[in-house]
């Protein structure tokens, strides 16, 4: 079964080569993204003069966890990650998180979008001159997609729910060709799919929809690039095999979660935790509802979620996330964390690295560490997908709703939402719990989105289904290298 379409369309591929040649665009490979030491010197020289968010094709090479954490002129260093202070987590175990803020446009989703776009570009399955790239999303994916489209000089359509933060809409207006706001909030993914069907019916060949919830290129990017980045952190910190205990991630599209599959291939005893909002407990209870953890969608199970490999569900109360977001960003919260909790200056500075879903991921890691009663040397890994800068307007809204955040609030949030975070709303999955979640895919993907029962069954019964994916990265790299060669010719 070919999970990623790499069939070439010669004529369109030629057009794309021409487009890239005219604009001097060279595309990074998976190898470059995993290990930027392999990036050509000429590109590194250009990066010296380029801002992290500049709409300049050379920034395609900044689709890596290795960017120097500076606004302009940065090149590459080690993987961007932090250890979450135990004074915040209250766990015995160590919790580490990759940092997404230092990707171009401040979000890790720029990687998933690139890995969807690049194979289509180099095979000719997307026409950079005559088609619009459509990015259906619950927030950041369409930002990343619109950004990458702009770098390549192609037209894009960003689709996202109307209740997403104002920051996202404001920025999108500067890069996306078209923005479509779908009804509802974060968890209204069905409405996004409906819009895609409508666009397909009305615009047909003029568009290509890059659907992160079903495209294995998204899975592949995280398996390969995010997974390798965490392995590099493990190596750097010299963590012993026995202590590599867990990986957790919220499932928006299920992409980020795929890094867990890579880690488990390397460390078979590692537990993978999939997280969601308690206000929309689809995985925990087949539940539904609206929530405020922007970026993680729900009310469906993404096609690319390898459910059989998932060990635990953690459902996170969005109220905890919003309270902690205030604690980390309001003056009284920061004063408390500095003076009372005695976080170091660096740890205080790092508070801006947590977006709302990043906080949810940390809370999931706390739940996992407590559930398995992990010890001092044990480690759980997760991801801070974006940063606080994406959500400042939420602070204003919360102040208007609840009044100013006080020192007393800070004490309560630290002791309640963080230190007292417990193993409630956590489920360790049995074989049949997993099957129940897997079966939920039927309603979205077979009934609504035209997938086949044969493939649904293959996801569960065919051991080679998921195992066939990692090798695709090398195949895509070969296609990218051939394409680049012809662009330069």
Ligand X SMILES: Cc1ncc(COP(=O)(O)O)c(C=O)c1O
Applying CB under 6 A, does 63 fall inside the site for ligand X? no
**Given the rule CB under 6 A, which of 22-30, 87-95, 248-256, 426-434 is the region that contacts ligand X?**
248-256
Applying CB under 6 A, does 385 fall inside the site for ligand X? yes
Nearer CB in complex with ligand X: 138/215: 138
Applying CB under 6 A, does 250 fall inside the site for ligand X? yes
Nearer CB in complex with ligand X: 74/161: 161
Applying CB under 6 A, does 161 fall inside the site for ligand X? no
Name the closest residue to ligand X (Cβ): 295
Applying CB under 6 A, does 57 fall inside the site for ligand X? no
Question: Residues 314, 426: contact at Cβ < 8 Å?
Answer: yes
Nearer CB in complex with ligand X: 188/256: 256
Applying CB under 6 A, does 140 fall inside the site for ligand X? yes
| Minimum gap (Å) between residue 8 Cβ and ligand X | 28
Applying CB under 6 A, does 357 fall inside the site for ligand X? yes
Q: Which of 67, 149, 187, 253 binds ligand X (CB under 6 A)?
A: 253
Nearer CB in complex with ligand X: 96/391: 391
**Given the rule CB under 6 A, which of 254-262, 399-407, 429-437, 478-486 is the region that contacts ligand X?**
254-262
| Minimum gap (Å) between residue 294 Cβ and ligand X | 6
Nearer CB in complex with ligand X: 252/281: 252
Q: Which of 16, 256, 314, 417 binds ligand X (CB under 6 A)?
A: 256
Site string for ligand X, 86-125 (x = CB under 6 A): -----------------------x----------------
- Site residues for ligand X, window 289-328 (CB under 6 A)? 294-296
CA-to-CA distance for 77 and 7, rounded, in angstroms? 36
Nearer CB in complex with ligand X: 13/222: 222
Q: Which of 104, 124, 252, 281 binds ligand X (CB under 6 A)?
A: 252
Nearer CB in complex with ligand X: 125/361: 361
| Closest alpha carbon to 306 in 462, 196, 119, 426 | 462
Q: Which of 251, 388, 417, 426 binds ligand X (CB under 6 A)?
A: 251
Q: Which of 355, 387, 417, 437 binds ligand X (CB under 6 A)?
A: 355
Applying CB under 6 A, does 139 fall inside the site for ligand X? yes
Nearer CB in complex with ligand X: 119/355: 355
Nearer CB in complex with ligand X: 16/188: 188
In the complex, which residues of this chain contact ligand X (CB under 6 A)?
109, 138-141, 250-257, 294-296, 355, 357, 385-386
């Amino acid at each position: 079964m070919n999970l990623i379409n790499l069939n070439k369309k010669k004529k369109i591929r030629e057009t794309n080569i021409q487009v890239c040649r005219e604009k001097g665009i060279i595309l990074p490979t998976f190898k470059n993204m995993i290990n930027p030491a392999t990036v050509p010197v000429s590109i590194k020289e250009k990066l010296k003069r380029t801002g992290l968010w500049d709409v300049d094709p050379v920034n395609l090479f900044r689709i890596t966890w290795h960017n120097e954490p500076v606004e302009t002129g940065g090149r590459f260093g080690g993987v961007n990650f932090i250890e979450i202070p135990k004074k915040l987590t209250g766990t015995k175990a160590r919790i580490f998180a990759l940092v997404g803020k230092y990707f171009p446009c401040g979000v890790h989703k720029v990687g998933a979008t690139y890995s969807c776009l690049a194979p289509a570009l180099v095979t000719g399955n997307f026409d950079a001159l005559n088609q619009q790239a459509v990015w259906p999303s619950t927030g950041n994916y369409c930002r990343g997609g619109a950004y990458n489209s702009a770098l390549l000089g192609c037209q894009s359509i960003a689709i996202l729910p109307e209740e997403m933060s104002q920051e996202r809409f404001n920025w999108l207006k500067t890069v996306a060709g078209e923005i479509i706001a779908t009804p509802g909030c974060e968890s209204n993914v069905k409405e996004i799919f409906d819009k895609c069907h409508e666009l397909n019916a009305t615009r047909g060949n003029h568009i290509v929809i890059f659907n992160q919830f079903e495209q294995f290129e998204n899975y592949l990017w995280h398996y390969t690039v995010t997974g390798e980045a965490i392995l590099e952190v493990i190596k750097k910190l010299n963590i012993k095999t026995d202590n590599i205990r867990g990986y957790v991630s919220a499932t928006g599209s299920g992409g980020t979660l795929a890094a867990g599959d890579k880690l488990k291939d390397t460390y078979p005893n590692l537990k993978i935790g999939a997280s969601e909002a308690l206000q929309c407990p689809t995985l925990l209870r087949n539940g539904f509802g609206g929530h405020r953890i922007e970026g993680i969608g729900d009310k469906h199970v993404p096609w690319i979620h390898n459910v059989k490999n998932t060990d635990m569900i953690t459902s996170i109360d969005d109220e905890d996330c919003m309270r902690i977001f205030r604690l980390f960003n309001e003056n009284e919260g920061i004063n408390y964390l500095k003076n009372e909790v005695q976080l170091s200056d660096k740890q205080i500075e790092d508070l801006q690295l947590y977006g709302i879903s990043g906080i949810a991921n940390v809370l999931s890691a706390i739940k996992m560490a407590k559930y398995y009663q992990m010890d001092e040397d044990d480690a759980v890994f997760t991801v801070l997908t974006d940063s606080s800068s994406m959500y400042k307007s939420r602070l204003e809204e919360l102040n208007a709703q609840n009044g100013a955040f006080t020192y007393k609030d800070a004490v309560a949030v630290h002791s309640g939402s963080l230190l007292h975070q417990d193993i409630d709303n956590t489920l360790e999955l049995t074989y049949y719990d997993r099957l129940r979640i897997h079966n939920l895919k039927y309603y979205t993907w077979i009934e609504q989105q035209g997938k086949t029962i044969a493939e649904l069954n293959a996801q569960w019964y065919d051991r080679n289904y998921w195992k066939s994916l990692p090798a695709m990265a090398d195949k895509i790299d070969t296609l990218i290298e051939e394409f680049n060669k012809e662009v330069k010719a």
